[in-house]
Chains A and B, each alone.
Chain A
Amino acid sequence: AQSVAQPEDQVNVAEGNPLTVKCTYSVSGNPYLFWYVQYPNRGLQFLLKYITGDNLVKGSYGFEAEFNKSQTSFHLKKPSALVSDSALYFCAVRTGGTASKLTFGTGTRLQVTL
């Protein structure tokens, strides 16, 4: 069975500082990894993905994530946080194949303050 762990319920950071939202995964086979962001009463917006290739993935709104196979991690990062980045962030994993389903982490609430 595949699983995703987001160890932090909430991350607090000051605007302008770098941010990291942690994610580790467990899956049989090669992982397809994703980050999504959710604003209140909204669906999920896709931020970035890792399927293959370069371990450092760049996504929307200045976010990036690094795939680390040995540590089974896929932490989300941004060099300089904005107040507007405050939202709920979900890490997700699946394997390849048309029958595969996304498994989500429990989510991490990012709070960026002035």
Chain B
Amino acid sequence: GAVVSQHPSRVICKSGTSVKIECRSLDFQATTMFWYRQFPKQSLMLMATSNEGSKATYEQGVEKDKFLINHASLTLSTLTVTSAHPEDSSFYICSARDDSLNTEAFFGQGTRLTVV
């Protein structure tokens, strides 16, 4: 299957700082990318959907000014958690899909964010 690389896999940051998470599709063009948040022992919660070159569409209840998403190219999307607080600590997962193939989405390996 196609490969999606997410970096970093783990990050610890201090309250008030910002953290950037990268998601790259390595061998296909990701026309659509998705960012999820997963709480312990729970399912994935979709945060936002982004298409290359356009603004992300955020799900209800997700603060767009706090979770900045950029999808500048067909292979890269970034999620920046701004002014992080301990309650932002979570497992963040990206996925990417090539809509020209109308196929499944492929997922990155996830990023464990801990805000102290």
A residues with a Cβ closer than 8 A to B are: 34, 36, 41-46, 49, 51, 90, 96, 98, 101-102, 104-107
Contacting residues, chain B, for A46 (C-beta < 8 A): 1, 104, 106-107
Contacts of B112 in A (CB 8 A): 41
Question: Complex formed: what's the CA distance from A43 to B37 in Å?
Answer: 11
Contact in complex: A98, B109 (CB < 8 Å): no
For A36, the chain B residues whose CB sits under 8 A away are 107
Interface of A is mostly: loop
> Are A90 and B99 in contact (CB-based, < 8 A)?
no
Taking a contact as CB atoms under 8 Å apart, the answer to whether A41 and B106 are in contact is no
17 A-B residue pairings within 8 Å (CB atoms): A34-B104, A36-B107, A42-B110, A43-B4, A43-B95, A43-B109, A44-B95, A49-B104, A90-B43, A98-B32, A98-B99, A98-B102, A101-B34, A101-B46, A104-B43, A104-B44, A105-B43
A96-B43 in contact given A43-B107, A43-B110, A102-B34 (Cβ < 8 Å): no
Question: 4 closest A-B pairs (Cβ-Cβ)?
Answer: A43-B107, A98-B99, A44-B107, A43-B109
Q: In the complex, A69→B1 CA distance in Å?
A: 27
- B49:A106 contact, CB within 8 angstroms: no
Q: Interface size on B (CB < 8 Å)?
A: 25
B44–A90 contact, CB under 8 A? Answer: yes
Q: Which of B9-62 contact A (CB under 8 A)?
A: 31-32, 34, 42-44, 46, 49
- How many A-B contacts are there with CB distance less than 8 Å? 48
Q: Given A45-B107, A46-B106, A101-B46, output 17 extra A-B contacts at Cβ < 8 Å.
A: A34-B104, A41-B112, A42-B109, A43-B93, A43-B108, A43-B109, A43-B110, A44-B44, A44-B107, A90-B43, A90-B44, A98-B31, A98-B99, A102-B34, A102-B46, A102-B95, A104-B43
A34 and B32 CA atoms in complex are apart in Å by 17
CA of A41 to CA of B108, assembled, Å: 11
User: Is B68 located at the chain interface by the 8 A CB criterion?
Assistant: no
**Nearest-CB residue, chain B, relative to A39:** B109
Within 8 A of A (CB), among B58-116: 91, 93, 95, 99, 102-110, 112
